[in-house]
Every structure is written in structure tokens, then in C-alpha cells.
Amino acid sequence: MQTEIILSGFGGQGIMFAGQVLSYAAMDIGKQVTWIPSYGPEMRGGTANCTVVIADEEIGSPLVKNPSAAVVMNLPSLDKYEPMIQPGGVLVINTSMVDRSAMRSDITVVPVACNDIAEEIGTPKLANMVAVGALLGGLEALTASDIEAALNAHMPGRHKHLLPKNLEALNKGIENARKNMIKAK
């Protein structure tokens, strides 16, 4: 089985870190993985996205045309990636920064106010982990335990003190996804 995920938003939203965490989690449980980052020319505030492919067998190509899932942290990302998702796929929408709903009914939509939840936790930079949790709520490629182990193993030492807040954000994302998920028709 192969799962392709695109994470997208503005630079500075932690998109690359979220993709890396998914990649490490998959690698650590023995899956085949590719991670491809893509940045806009701006340092912060420009476009940022990454593609993560997780598979049980060797990955033929890391390029993804129609992902199984997308996490969109802003409106331009929703506009770009919603049409590309495979029918039956999963779309996580950060409703803190997106003011419209998904237009498709053939995909599972997971609307979660990632920024608002991160603010409630006390660290706005945790919106990316809320989004990863929301993705786990709708996609069964990885578990919360896989992500927790990856954060524990791969988070730089200078950031280890942030681990409890990251786990709180992850779990709030999962919880909100389960409450707000709109299943594909």
C-alpha cells in the first residue's frame, strides 16, 4: 500500500517540520519513505509545501500528481490542492486561515482550527502538530504513537522541552478531526 501526502501553507507555519515528522515516523516503523520540500523565494510568508510518500514496498517515483491526502494551512493551498486529491482521499483544512469549505463531496474533509487550537495550548507555532493530528484522525497510514516516538527520537535536543506541548497539539488535532470530519459520499 502507498499513501501520498501533500502539506502546504505559508513559510513559517512549520510545514517542512510536519512533513519530516511524518517521514521519520514512517521510517521508524519500517516503511519506505520519500520527503520532498519545496519553498517559494521568500524567507517567511512565501509558499511552502512538501510531499511525503509512505509505502510498504519500494517507491517508484517520489513525484505525486494525485495525492491520497493533503493538509492545507491557507486559502491558496486549498485552491491549489483540493482538485488534485484522489476520490476517497482526505483533505485537512486549517479553518483558522481558510474562510471557505471544500467544494468536493467525494473526499473526506477534516476542518480543524489549527491556529486557534495552538493558541489555546499557548504556543502558536504548534498549529502544524494540530494539523498532523487532524491528518491522523482521517488517514490510517500512521498512529499517534508512531508520531510520538518520532518526535521523541528526532526532535533536536534544544527543543526537547517542547515535546509535551507538541503531543498535546497532536492529540487535540486527532480529537477535533474525529468530531468535525465530513466523510466522503
Of 103, 96, 114, 117, which Cα lies nearest the Cα of 182?
Answer: 103
**Where in the chain are the domains?**
2-180
Q: What is the pLDDT along the chain (185 residues), one digit of tens a residue?
A: 899 999 999 888 899 999 999 999 999 999 999 999 997 765 566 789 999 999 999 998 888 999 999 999 999 999 999 999 999 999 999 999 999 999 999 999 999 999 999 999 999 999 999 999 999 988 888 999 999 999 999 988 888 888 999 999 999 999 999 999 999 88
Global pTM? 0.93
The DSSP secondary structure of 150-179, one letter per residue, reads HHHHHS-GGGGGGHHHHHHHHHHHHHHHHH
Fold of the 2-180 domain: Pyruvate-ferredoxin Oxidoreductase; domain 3 (3.40.920)
